[in-house]
């Protein structure tokens, strides 16, 4: 079974001035791809169409690793931005990476 990790970064105005994240860590570890995708898109502002970008990082070589990052818009109360990244725990072929990035709407 394919497993994946999902990490997060919380970036505030103050932390971005210092070039750092305010908070970071794991949302989930060694979960199924289905659960990882669910965790990837459950950001704090996703319920109000707050996603600002979805991007994939894949170098295109045979059996490279793929990561997909999702960023949300600014939270109204805190002004923070959350980013989540899905990390596949095994190499993936270019054709499979292309299918997965299209499925998730990544650029």
Mean pLDDT, residues 27-41 taken together: 94
Distance CA 65, CA 11 (A): 25
SS3 state of residue 59: coil
pLDDT band with cut points at 50, 70 and 90 for residue 62: low
Domain boundaries, the chain: 3-104
What's the DSSP call for residue 101? H
pLDDT (tens digit per residue) in 86-106? 999 788 888 888 999 999 988
Select from 81, 84, 82, 86 the least CA-distant residue to 68: 86
What's the DSSP call for residue 92? B
């Amino acid at each position: 079974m394919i497993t994946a990790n999902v990490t997060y970064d919380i970036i505030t105005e103050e932390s971005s001035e210092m070039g750092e994240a305010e908070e970071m860590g794991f949302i989930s570890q060694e979960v199924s791809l289905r659960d990882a995708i669910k965790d990837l898109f459950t950001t704090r502002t996703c319920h109000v169409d707050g996603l600002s970008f979805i991007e994939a990082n894949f170098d295109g070589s045979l059996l490279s690793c793929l990561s997909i990052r999702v960023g949300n818009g600014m939270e109204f109360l805190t002004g923070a931005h959350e980013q989540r990244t899905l990390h596949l725990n095994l190499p993936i072929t270019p054709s499979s990476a292309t299918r997965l990035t299209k499925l998730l709407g990544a650029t």
